[in-house]
Structure 1
Amino acid sequence: MAKKICILALITILFSLGSPWVNPAFASLPNGNRLKDPYAILRNSLPIDQKELRELQNKLEDTSEDLRGSRWSAISKATSRSQFLVSNKKNQILDSMPAENKENASNLLSKLKEELDELRQIANEKNKVSFLDVRRQSLKTIDDLESLLITKNFPYQIPSEYNNLPRLLGRANVEIKTSKGSMNAIIDGYNAPLTAGAFIDLSMKGFYDGLPINRAEEFFILQTGDPKGETIGYIDPDNNELRRVPLEIRTSSLEDTLYGETFEDVGLYTETPVLPFATLGTLGWAHSDTDLNDGSSQFFFFLYEAELNPAGRNLIDGRNAAFGYVIEGSEILNQLGVDDKIISITVLNGSENLKLKA
């Protein structure tokens, strides 16, 4: 029996089209397409606080708007500022690194300097295609630098009442094979450790292999993970009971991750989660209409449509847990329907971050 997430597509559409005002949360979101870029969302959601790298990252990401308008003067200024940060703030960046990662970070900064020098030259030549290619390389290097800042200690508290649940204490990369093609996704255990842990655990068990797409709503969601038979989720063989994963949402305005509560429950009516439903292929965890904490195995792909589900104004943020993003192959999502299925989900890396219990 398929379990529906507690969202109605029609309400979402009416809300989006019928509201002339701008939601304060939406108005405060980053400029450009940072919020719609899964790589940018994942970078911004890392549990780090290094202002020079963050400024460098944001400077490069924000060139998207200038590229669309062919504002090469602004692009050159942004790349020049990026070069300055790498050359003149190198010591501050290295000082923030754990001792064991300083040498690696120094090598990456040298690599980044070369990439930014090339980027500045391309900006002078006004070559959009080459600029995007080298910018992508530069942001990947920044990704690698930021990952070196993360310590081995998990940064957030998980309530002890969930000690028996799997948790992903970091990130994992998965390949999702479907009857229409394959996708690559990053699963984020930093900001949704129990949700991501349940997904990775079931993926490694082969639970999703062969399961159909059991719900497909155009411009909204594709849902799967409903096992055959009467059960609506994963039955734990140790106790023969349904594994229940609580609603789990993290927001930057609160120190602790929310468990078992929506944003409305705690009065956060204009909040945007750290992992927003803001891009095609956002992975979300399904729960029933009546219980926030009965999600077990079913998950969905969010079919982002800017006009119908604008970031910060859709009705999923704060009511369902996002736990990852498709980073490659998202174009096949618009080809999938209820006649299709998941062939397999393979964990490519990050399985060492999975702990079966506390």
Structure 2
Amino acid sequence: MADIVVKDYGTIQVALDPKEAPLTCQNFIELANDGFYDNLTFHRIMKGFMIQGGDPNGDGTGGSEKTIQGEFQSNGVDNKLAHERGTISMARSSDPNSASSQFFICDADDPFLDGDYAAFGHVVKGMDVVDKIASDAKPLDNNGTIAKDEQPVIETIQITEE
């Protein structure tokens, strides 16, 4: 389990699925436990699609010091998780093995992402927080870019055992 604590919004609780995406879960857990995500933001928000965060640059260009293998079907990995409302998945560039620290949470069913992005868990509590973040967002463009001073802040991500 991961508790994503968002300033002024609340907590999004996510059940991770290391059976389907072991490398992705391990990477996310290590970054969370190292405090990497503390005070980063959701920099890209598109209501009816997803909220994306975990970039130290706050603009979609950054990541941690390492990248991981993309755990999804088009990259040779049998990950059965679907991108449905509440799914957490890794963002990446066009390189299938470029995922690092950026993640997104689907606020709608996004089946067109299935097989091409590494889903690694599902929100079990706090979809109201995801919905509020998506509803409050005022994107600057059609790509969901959020002004720096309006990006919701991830206070911390706490990994808990269940």
TM-score for the superposition, normalised by structure 1? 0.38
The answer to whether residue 68 in structure 2 is matched with residue 245 in structure 1 is yes
Question: Compared with structure 1, are the counterparts of its residues 232 and 192 closer, same or farther at alpha carbon in structure 2 (3 Å cutoff)?
Answer: same
The corresponding residue for 2:114 is 317
Q: Supply the distance in 1 between the matched residues of 2:48 and 2:17 (Cα, whole angstroms).
A: 24
The answer to whether residue 154 in structure 2 is matched with residue 348 in structure 1 is no
Q: Which aligned pairs between 1:1-358 and structure 2 lie closer than 5 A?
A: 173-179=1-7, 180-228=9-57, 232-235=62-65, 243-249=66-72, 258=73, 260-261=75-76, 274-278=80-84, 280-288=85-93, 290-305=94-109, 309=110, 314-336=111-133, 337=137, 338=146, 339=150, 340-349=152-161
- The Cα of 1:260 is off from its aligned counterpart by 3.0
- The Cα of 1:335 is off from its aligned counterpart by 1.2
- The Cα of 1:228 is off from its aligned counterpart by 2.9
Instruction: State the number of aligned residues.
Output: 145
Identity %: 32
- Which amino acid letter does the alignment assign opposite residue 63 of structure 2? G
- Which amino acid letter does the alignment assign opposite residue 68 of structure 2? V
Structure whose residues are more often strand by fraction: 2
Q: Supply the distance in 2 between the matched residues of 1:276 and 1:294 (Cα, whole angstroms).
A: 20
Which secondary structure does the structure 1 equivalent of 2:20 belong to? coil
TM-score for the superposition, normalised by structure 2? 0.81
- C-alpha RMSD of matched pairs (Å): 2.2
Question: Given that residues 74 and 116 in structure 2 are in contact (C-alpha distance below 8 angstroms), is that contact kept between their aligned partners in structure 1?
Answer: no
Structure 1: 4+ residue segments shifted above 6 A: none
- Which amino acid letter does the alignment assign opposite residue 215 of structure 1? R
Q: Supply the distance in 2 between the matched residues of 1:284 and 1:201 (Cα, whole angstroms).
A: 16
Question: Given that residues 247 and 259 in structure 1 are in contact (C-alpha distance below 8 angstroms), is that contact kept between their aligned partners in structure 2?
Answer: no
Q: Supply the distance in 2 between the matched residues of 1:229 and 1:302 (Cα, whole angstroms).
A: 19
**Structure with the larger RCO, 1 or 2 (CA within 8 Å, 6+ apart):** 2
Long gaps (5+) in structure 1? 1-172, 236-242, 250-257, 264-272, 351-358
Question: Given that residues 49 and 106 in structure 2 are in contact (C-alpha distance below 8 angstroms), is that contact kept between their aligned partners in structure 1?
Answer: yes
Deviation string for 1:188-246 (max 9, x for gaps)? 111100011110110001111111111001100100011138962111xxxxxxx1111
Long gaps (5+) in structure 2? 138-145
- Which amino acid letter does the alignment assign opposite residue 185 of structure 1? V
Q: Supply the distance in 2 between the matched residues of 1:261 and 1:335 (Cα, whole angstroms).
A: 36
- Which amino acid letter does the alignment assign opposite residue 347 of structure 1? I
Which secondary structure does the structure 2 equivalent of 1:291 belong to? coil
Which secondary structure does the structure 1 equivalent of 2:98 belong to? coil
- Which amino acid letter does the alignment assign opposite residue 319 of structure 1? D
Question: Compared with structure 1, are the counterparts of its residues 259 and 349 closer, same or farther at alpha carbon in structure 2 (3 Å cutoff)?
Answer: farther
Question: Given that residues 247 and 293 in structure 1 are in contact (C-alpha distance below 8 angstroms), is that contact kept between their aligned partners in structure 2?
Answer: yes
Which secondary structure does the structure 2 equivalent of 1:334 belong to? helix
Structure (1 or 2) with the larger CA radius of gyration? 1
- The Cα of 1:175 is off from its aligned counterpart by 1.1
Question: Compared with structure 1, are the counterparts of its residues 211 and 275 closer, same or farther at alpha carbon in structure 2 (3 Å cutoff)?
Answer: same
Structure whose residues are more often helix by fraction: 1
Question: Given that residues 261 and 292 in structure 1 are in contact (C-alpha distance below 8 angstroms), is that contact kept between their aligned partners in structure 2?
Answer: no
